[in-house]
Amino acid sequence: MNFQNIKSLQGQLTSLGFEQLVNELPKRICFKADSFISFFETLKGRDRLNFYLYFTKDNEKDTYALMYYDASILKEISFEHATINDVDTVSLEHAMSSIDWASIVNPGTSVMQIKAGIDNWETETLIESVVEDLRKLGEDEAGNKIAVNLKQKYWAGIPFLEQIGNISPSGNKQEVSQRFYFYPSQIGISVDEAHRFLQNMMIEKQLQLAKKQDRNVAATVNDKVKIPVIKKAAIRKHPGNPATIKVKL
């Protein structure tokens, strides 16, 4: 391994705010893959931030470089719990919050974690139960809204859409994402800087949604309020009398 390259990348990760990935880096590089992805999650106030860092290898120099990362911000999602189709949403959310969804699909999952999962299948059984309860909620109109909120809250930003499908056909109004690239001799955008950038994107998105809703409301009001059309009386002259006669339409 190119230890100098590893130390350089570790320094870059630390300066960017990804300290938790420093010890993971040598473990990923030792497999000599052409590329790999590291996942990082953090909380900033009430915002949840997800980062996917993409590393690629230069085979000629035997070095790795951080090419870019995808960052997303998810605002806190709140909703009223209920029991629908024999599904208690309080218990369902408790089950979903107890699962480390990122580690299940993260390529960096350790061998020990995989072996533990094979031995007892507890996590897999719990996931199957969660998916089934979400399906039951989806059969009811009110339950489907809760199910979508739960999926957005715990699954947004997790790259396993091939298993679960689109978590929100209409788009997630509580999440925005952006890709940040890195260039040679530049440290790049830090976690805090990305957070501020994504916050501004979220504000802009909410303002646009508010304007769109206002336009929709105005259009609805105009459709309901019909302005009466006043028809003018046709005027014609009587052939034997210069006086005019008004004819009602």
61-101 pLDDT per residue, tens: 999 999 999 999 987 777 889 999 999 999 999 999 998 88
Tell me the mean pLDDT in the region 195-218. Answer: 87
Asked if the structure places residue 133 within a domain, the reply is: yes
Give backbone dihedrals phi and psi of 17, rounded to 5 degrees, phi first.
105, 15
Strands (DSSP E) found in the chain: 35-44, 47-58, 63-74, 83-84, 87-88, 175-181, 234-238, 241-247
Asked if the structure places residue 155 within a domain, the reply is: yes
CA dist., res. 200 & res. 214, Å (int): 21
Q: Per residue in 39-53, pLDDT tens?
A: 998 989 888 899 999
Task: Determine the longest span between alpha carbons in the chain, in angstroms.
Answer: 113
Asked if the structure places residue 98 within a domain, the reply is: yes
CA dist., res. 69 & res. 37, Å (int): 9
13, pLDDT greater than 60: yes
Cβ proximity of 249 and 231 under 8 Å: yes
Asked if the structure places residue 100 within a domain, the reply is: yes
Count other Cβ atoms within 10 Å, centred on residue 190. 14
* Count of domains observed in the chain: 1
65-69, 93-97, 121-125, 168-172: range with lowest mean pLDDT: 168-172
Q: How confident is the model at residue 37 (pLDDT cuts 50, 70, 90)?
A: very high
Give the CA distances from residue 151 to residues 56, 135, 137, 145, in Å, rounded to whole numbers and listed in that order: 31, 11, 12, 10
Asked if the structure places residue 106 within a domain, the reply is: yes
Count other Cβ atoms within 10 Å, centred on residue 156. 19
Asked if the structure places residue 28 within a domain, the reply is: no
Chain-centre distance for alpha carbon 176 = 6
pLDDT of res. 19: 96
Asked if the structure places residue 205 within a domain, the reply is: no
Domain range for 109 is 77-164
Asked if the structure places residue 134 within a domain, the reply is: yes
